Structure 1
């Protein structure tokens, strides 16, 4: 099992510049991000939220694979579905009007229509809602977040298609198309 040297990481709350790091692949790490958002290492769930958050900050996606990256190391990990899980949301006012703000379990914050988009995609025969994250990664909306959002759906038209969706920061998102 390959371990990654965490001492080389920046020690502040900002995201490290993972996109500027290009180390060689060191191998695979026995780490899995489950479809339910659990992070598993060596077969056991990581119970320390601070550790999961730290790992999430050095997560990188490349050609459909996920890696933990530092300036000097790059190790491949496995992701069942989405590496991030949205656990909270709220409505807020922006200069572009009403918007939806989402927060992941690792404290990433995104505003629909400003720095993220939402869509439904198939995962093992089930339609699941996702948000776009940094570096082409995605975040799954937890079931409870999505159920609460369905109460906010309103009629929208996107690219000539009509149905129910969300309007956030002046942009419309079709989630349930009319038949």
Structure 2
């Protein structure tokens, strides 16, 4: 990976000047400046040049300018776009809140970077199964085509909340949020 003059401090300062919330990344078209040695591990930890980024505020700041394009992840500002490595999903959800909404129960997932995503028609929840181990990996749509991994402990909570039902002739465990049903797994496997 090349750094191409990337300065972590300058980048964080430039990002903080974009204001609060998620900036309009879809409107920015900066030049690609190369890949940097930044990685988001499957457990949600961020690394720069092999060292964990210890300041959570900086991680939260960088998470706001994450961009997925043609299967690759980038940090994107109005003036530059740099490639980074993501081991699985760039977000990790570790907390769950429940609310009652217009369409019934709502499941609100909170990531380690402070993102609050309500599962529903806009942000789908799904489970992938590892073909080698058979282990489930639950995900939630976040933004710009990116997904977040739901932490295993949180997945166990969802399973406890789930209700058995029949879908396409199979018994499955499912949960509901914002009027949508999300299947966590089959009961007859």
TM-score, normalised relative to structure 1: 0.92
Matching residue of 2:95: 88
State the 1:87 CA deviation: 1.2
Matching residue of 1:61: 68
What is the CA–CA distance in structure 1 between the aligned matches of 2:86 and 2:80, rounded to whole Å?
Answer: 19
Instruction: Describe the superposition over 1:142-175 as per-residue Cα deviations: whole angstroms up to 9, x where unpaired.
Output: 1111112211011234566541110111111111
Matching residue of 2:37: 30
Report how many residues are paired.
179
Does the 8 A contact of 1:112 with 1:118 survive in 2?
A: yes
Does the 8 A contact of 1:87 with 1:104 survive in 2?
A: yes
Instruction: Describe the superposition over 1:31-53 as per-residue Cα deviations: whole angstroms up to 9, x where unpaired.
Output: 00001111010110011110000
Q: Which of the numbers 4, 8, 14 marks the counterpart of 1:8?
A: 14
State the 1:25 CA deviation: 0.9
Residues 112/158 of structure 1: CA separation in 2 closer, same or farther (3 Å cut): farther
Matching residue of 2:183: 174
What is the CA–CA distance in structure 2 between the aligned matches of 1:38 and 1:14, rounded to whole Å?
Answer: 21
2:144 is paired with a residue whose SS is helix
User: Within the alignment, does 1:17 sit opposite 2:24 as a pair?
Assistant: yes
Matching residue of 1:79: 86
What is the CA–CA distance in structure 2 between the aligned matches of 1:55 and 1:36, rounded to whole Å?
Answer: 17
Greater Cα offset, 1-10 or 39-48? 1-10
Structure 2 runs not aligned, ≥5 long: none
CA RMSD of aligned residues (A): 1.8
Structure 1 runs not aligned, ≥5 long: none
User: Within the alignment, does 1:134 sit opposite 2:143 as a pair?
Assistant: yes
Q: Which of the numbers 23, 39, 42 marks the counterpart of 2:46?
A: 39
